[in-house]
Amino acid sequence: MQATEFLSYALEGHKHDSKTDSFMKEIDNLFTLGLSEQSLNRRMINEATVRVDVGSEQWDKVSTKTLLFQLYRKAGELRGYNPQAQYGSFLGLIKKLTKMGIYGSFLTDKYTEDEINEVASYLTPGRDELFTYVGLMMLSDRYLARDYINQVYELPQERFMVIALTVMQDESPENRMEHVKEAYWALSELYMTVATPTMSNSGKVDGQLSSCFIDSVDDSLDGIYLDNWDNARVSKHGGGVGVYMGKVRGRNSSIRGYKNKASGVIPWIRNLNNTAVSVDQLGMRSGAMAVYLDIWHVDVLLFLQIGTNNGDERMKARDVFPGLCVPDYFMELIEADEDGRMLTPDAIWHLFDPHEVRQEMGWSLEDSYDEEEGSGTWRTRYQECIDNPNLRRIEVPVREIVKAMVVADIETGSPYMFYRDEVNRQNANKHKGMIYCSNLCTEIAQNMSPSSLVGEWVTEEDGTEYIIYKRKIGDFVVCNLSSINLGRAYRDGVIRRVIRIMMRMLDNVIDVNNLPLHQATRTNKKYRPVGLGTFGWHHLLAILGIKWDDMASVELADTLYEDIAFYAIEMSHELAMEKGSYEYFEGSEYHTGVYFDRKGYTDARHNWSTLKAKVKKGIRNGYWGAVAPNASTALIAGSTQGIDPFYGAQGIYYEEKKDFKVPVLAPDLSPETWEFYYRQNAHYVSQEISILQNARRQRHIDQAVSFNLYVPSGIKAKDLMQLHRKAWRNKLKTTYYVRGTANLVDDCEACQ
């Protein structure tokens, strides 16, 4: 490689500026130092990235081309072709990696060589230059296929095509290639992204493609340990896990009739914590788990301290993320006046043990919710528990619970909030179950129930004895995620086209997936749930010239997400007519039409009445929408993450991990968009407006939204609780982190 060869590629089309001469001089010097190829590559990229700044955005493109130059050279060297051609034989790559045991044989079993050569002709190397530097870096570091000694063989367009081939492998032969082409188009134009497991594992041997899993733990020793085993296997294959612990008996409960013997949920949560750390996904990252508990559970105060600086260190679990399941009634008790003073300052909250409630009352308190605002089964049963003198309880002032929540929020950014009554009222499949909690990133809301061991026996086969365990299958939630890039797709007028592709891709993941648990596979087939989401919200506002804090942003959230809902449901119906409805469709609110009535849809913007009539005949997916955080994959696509405001002040911030620090510019940064990013970054925008935006958005999403609250350091407790109250009053189903300027928290990468 010569310096002139590199510079002619990296600086092609580059506008000459004061930094160009110094860059060229430094590159010439580097080539004379006799550096190793790895050191030379690192130094070349550094020379480009240090020149990136607001006003010098073109240097990001130089950084991108520098990395592309290196990827092309390495691929050519490993695969035996001239790197000046950029891409080599796609069929050759598939055969090579299949032989090496990296790719699964299904690629060559399902597709003929002629078909693979046909899709190879669709590959468009020029789309590599759509990437920003940080996006290309993340794609190459985390997702491009490597051999067992970590050498990268794939190139970006090949990764996108392998994803398309994987998810479309079982489509009917007469139109399969068209579906592959459409999926590749949407991915390679960066109109959409797929979630981390789909992005990374497509095409691979035993590739697990789903992001999010949720389990509920049975209140038994077998149930607790089997659940831990289940979650370890999910984590091993790259999934993030939400775990509902609300059925597990609390501290000082009885065991086999012996009183005051139970140690409570915290020791079991510590076991999950150890599993998350130990099952570290081949050293790439630690496993990630969120644990949810009801706010009336007898152990809730200890639970709220599992990550804080106060309390007994033996009761900590700092590597799991706590989530709090909160009923309307509790939020009503903490309603405040205009000055933030609690309207019921002397209110008492009663904490109960779920095991003792089952024993004494004959039902489980967590199995109900309030069907109407202000009334319903849950609060009736809660009062019955209070009125029963035989039932042990701990009485705590409501303000003490609130204090513990606020301390945890400020110190750790959690607990996540799960507003259980609103979630279950909005559940389109309440005819088949109950939703107890959400997932690791708070955007999934589906029916769930614990699996339980019901028997074991010994059998003999061919002279070998086996122990057979019989387990009753519960609903172990799985969700398959994909997100549309609002900044690009809206601008180019392709939202409906992209959503139709995404829904087909997501639905196909259910059938081609290799899930690690039988109960997860069974639940996935019963409901066929998918999570179509979005990212690039702030990006979209900027290119449309809408300031974050303007009410116009709230109105756009309403109309845009109504569009998304209509197109997604429309496509899911068409897939049902083509392939059949989900197993539990009959009796659902799609079947009865109640879903559309409850949403209050009219024909003002879309022909909802016609769609309602069609959907009564069938819909493919029992759950279809979920807006995940997408931090990493949004960076890959060159946009802003999820529905969050841009993080950096003045149009730039630095993405920093243990092994790199690179500049991230606001997307489409220009004199026209400057004012819509400058001083409108995450900690400066109105959180009240953010909540209103999300309330409009949530109305149209059947599951939930990963929604962060950004607060300043030193925020007062009453002001923080006011934000939580506002979120609940506006019918948000969940909130994710409380992100302060002092508490730094990392997004879950499983849902990216």
Segment 423-448 shows an average pLDDT of: 97
Phi then psi for residue 716, to 5 deg, are -75, 150
Asked, for residue 584, whether it belongs to a domain, the answer is yes
pLDDT in tens, 290-346: 999 999 999 999 999 999 998 888 899 999 999 999 999 999 999 987 777 888 888
The reply to whether 43 and 99 lie within a common domain is: no
Residue linked to tokens 């399902």: 110
Place of tokens 């919200």: 537
User: Do the domain assignments include residue 546?
Assistant: yes
pLDDT score, position 283 = 54
Q: What is the CATH number for 614? A: 3.20.70.20
- In angstroms, the CA 315 to CA 53 distance is 46
Question: What is the Cα–Cα distance from 251 to 353, expressed in whole angstroms?
Answer: 8
Give the containing element (helix H, strand E) for 79: helix 58-79
Q: Does the pLDDT value for residue 658 go beyond 70? A: no
362 falls within a domain: no
302 occurs within a structural domain = no
Quick one: pLDDT band at residue 281, thresholds 50, 70, 90? low
Assigned domain for 358 exists? no
Least confident range from 334-343, 462-471, 475-484, 663-672: namely 334-343
Whether 749 shows a pLDDT value over 60: the answer reads no
Other beta carbons within 10 Å of 1: 12
How far is residue 3's CA from residue 524's CA, in Å, rounded to a whole number? 54
What average pLDDT does the segment 453-459 reach? 94
DSSP-assigned letter for residue 127: G
In degrees and rounded to multiples of 5, residue 47 shows phi and psi of -60, -35
Phi, psi dihedrals of residue 262, rounded to the nearest 5°:
-75, 145
Residue that finishes a domain, picked among 188, 217, 251: 188
Bridge partners, residue 255, by sequence: 258
617 & 494 share domain:
yes
pLDDT value at residue 660:
67
pLDDT in tens, 66-114: 999 999 999 999 999 999 999 999 999 999 999 999 999 999 999 999 9
pLDDT for 733-742, tens place per residue?
999 999 987 6
User: 542 and 649: one domain?
Assistant: yes
Question: Residue 439: inside a domain, yes or no?
Answer: no
Residues in CB range of 702: below 8 A, 6 or more apart? 426, 428, 565, 595, 623, 624, 625
Whether the CB-CB separation of 429 and 336 falls below 8 Å is answered with no
Q: How far apart are CA 55 and CA 42, in angstroms?
A: 24
How many structural domains is the chain composed of? 3
Residue whose tokens read 């110190």 = 411
Q: Which residues on neighbouring strands pair with residue 352, listed in sequence order?
A: 297, 393
E runs forming strands in 384-475: 393-397, 416-419, 452-461, 464-472
Report which secondary-structure segment, H or E, holds 69.
helix 58-79
Residues 77 and 122 in one domain: no
Query: What range does the domain containing 675 cover?
Result: 480-740
Residues 44 and 98 in one domain: no
Q: Please give the Cα distance from 722 to 739 (Å, whole number).
A: 15
For residue 692 the two structure tokens come to 């209103």
Using the 3D structure, point to which of 81, 114, 130 is the last residue of a domain.
81
Question: In terms of domains, do 70 and 126 share one?
Answer: no
Mean pLDDT of the chain: 93
Question: Which of the listed residues 128, 158, 188 is the one where a domain comes to its end?
Answer: 188
Q: How far apart are CA 434 and CA 428, in angstroms?
A: 11
DSSP 214-283: EEE--SSHHHHHHHHHHHHHHHHTT-EEEEE-TTS--BT--BTTBTT--B-SHHHHHHHHHHHHH--TTT
The answer to whether residue 38 scores a pLDDT higher than 90 is: no
Residues 6+ apart with CB under 8 A from 493: none
Contact 13, 7 (CB under 8 A): no
- Residue 634 sits in the same domain as residue 675: yes
> Binning pLDDT at 50, 70 and 90, where does residue 679 land?
confident
Q: Are residues 573 and 714 in the same domain?
A: yes
Do 111 and 61 share a structural domain? no
Query: Do 581 and 692 fall within a single domain?
Result: yes
Q: How far apart (Å, rounded) are the C-alpha atoms in residues 119 and 112? A: 11
Is the predicted pLDDT of residue 479 greater than 60, yes or no?
A: yes
pLDDT for the residue 39: 87
When pLDDT is cut at 50, 70 and 90, the band that residue 34 belongs to is confident
Query: Is 685 among the domain residues?
Result: yes
Residue 583 domain-assigned (yes or no)? yes
pLDDT at 647: 85
> Are 529 and 646 in the same domain?
yes
Beta strand 240-244 with 212-216: parallel, antiparallel or unpaired? parallel
Helices (H), 621-738: 631-636, 674-677, 687-700, 717-729
The predicted pLDDT at position 527 comes to: 98
| Bridge partners for 213 per DSSP | 241, 478
Tokens standing for residue 577: 């007519």
Catalytic residues: 439, 441, 443
Do residues 43 and 156 share a domain?
no
Residue 231's pLDDT band (cuts 50, 70, 90): very high
DSSP class of residue 645 equals: P
The two three-digit tokens of residue 644, written as one number:
């969050």
